[in-house]
Structure 1
């Protein structure tokens, strides 16, 4: 598991956040960027780590397909 670090306070207490607006919903998703919010300082950041969904389920990968 990759340790996620807040770009503002440098702590590793991030959680997935909901996507908001056109950029996050469409543009960032094209590049595999996901929104995260720091539980310490509240700053939102975009990371290339999908992590667990906001509902606590880890995404699954399709297996056996080429």
Structure 2
């Protein structure tokens, strides 16, 4: 839903900017991240909960398989 009294769009149009670089401080490889994700999937966690675990324990911000 857009703003009623403004010419701009609402927050629903907010999109994360694509970042194709891996941060230099991140020590995890993509293979290790996939293994961690698969372990959490086997524990039947939801995707949002998996994201929270990866964020809190491994400092991974955005991760797409």
**TM-score higher than 0.5:** no
TM-score scaled to structure 2, two decimals?
0.27
Higher Rg of the two aligned structures = 2
Greater relative contact order structure (CA < 8 Å, 6+ sep): 1
TM-score scaled to structure 1, two decimals?
0.27
Bigger proportion of residues as strand: 1
